[in-house]
Structure 1
């Protein structure tokens, strides 16, 4: 079997990236476009998506759609519209996520449910929409952007850790179901990355502890043995690799992109 490589390795493939308007999702969309895929970016803020699509346009065929991944009906309607307008989705990147921190005894039922709804149920809803088409075609790539919080524990983010551990479990279980059907299911697990979520975390640490934002950033960077924050493009590179035709033996894996923080 010939393995396609080079700048058009994903030519003819259609990818959908949730949370694709900024940060890691935007970097993933760019990487997929550069390999010849057509891309639909999805998210809640249509203004952000429109701006991102304009930025990505020189790289290839890109479109956007509004979606709330925590709402099953929103997901179903959006995916049906995308398929009708742009065709079957061959690659799904479940990148949309949300992180909020609180001590466990102050983690209310609403916060707990919100973390599960966005990070775990959102992955479930979107995957259910694309899997039948992938199985029918005999080819598909599902990549879940989890977190090192899906591989280890962090204090004060019990709900987020629980949700991301759930994403890892879902990845592994589904990977076994589809292993012989041409579809792979994997996860990438970024450490602290230069994104809005981490910028918010830095601001929150500074506000609650009296440290400067530079000190708070250094504290998060220190978790990484490379003593730095991960760049969105580095996460995107790992996602792209898992989507390539030559990565068909990668299945059910959770790849940490964290400078050696988790081994």
Structure 2
């Protein structure tokens, strides 16, 4: 890769770097390791909280900062870091949602921060993202929510209630937050600080490392990847990505996330010696 300038490679996780079993394949691990050896900076930029990302970060043997909660948290995992940042939400919004949960048909209200997880209940079908049972110190209440959270995740009882919830939040708090429905079939809405997206974290990484925008390669597959795909010099949509992402991207992988699409793309474009 000697003839290629230093790259910042930004990796979405679900539906992108991870296969359909939410795992990192040996080929993907090897390709990312080879890219790092060639001088590339590889960072995870995900909608996941850090509690559900750090094992994958370790699996890839990364030492770079990680961006979580769709750009709302930037950390250096396992370290205290002077450059760490976070965007938080006024906790009174959480209390309003709790007070109106029955009227809005809210089944789950979960709030998170770097070292924070509180919820009004455990959820049996946690989709792999939420605990099925809560510890006593994880129950959401006026007393337990001391700090402003980074993210609020809300599940409605019925899919048809999702639009009404989004309208309510935007009408009441639209000057402070924005709402994003999860992709797929889940009747879940995520609430986070207005104007903060994955591109926020990507720009932070580029500035930190002194990487030009044209030297950023970003991979994604879902709506929450839109800003990152647009910001990167080369925004790459997965073959399995939703159509709007493919229309936004500069390039599309020839293979899906379950066929090592990221690894194959990097091997080809960066002429990586893997193995």
| Larger helix percent | 1
Give the structure with higher Rg (CA).
2
Task: Indicate whether the TM-score tops 0.5.
Answer: no
If asked which structure has higher relative contact order (CA below 8 Å, sep 6+), I would say 2
Q: Which has the higher strand share?
A: 2
Category of TM-score, reference length = shorter chain? 0.3 to 0.5
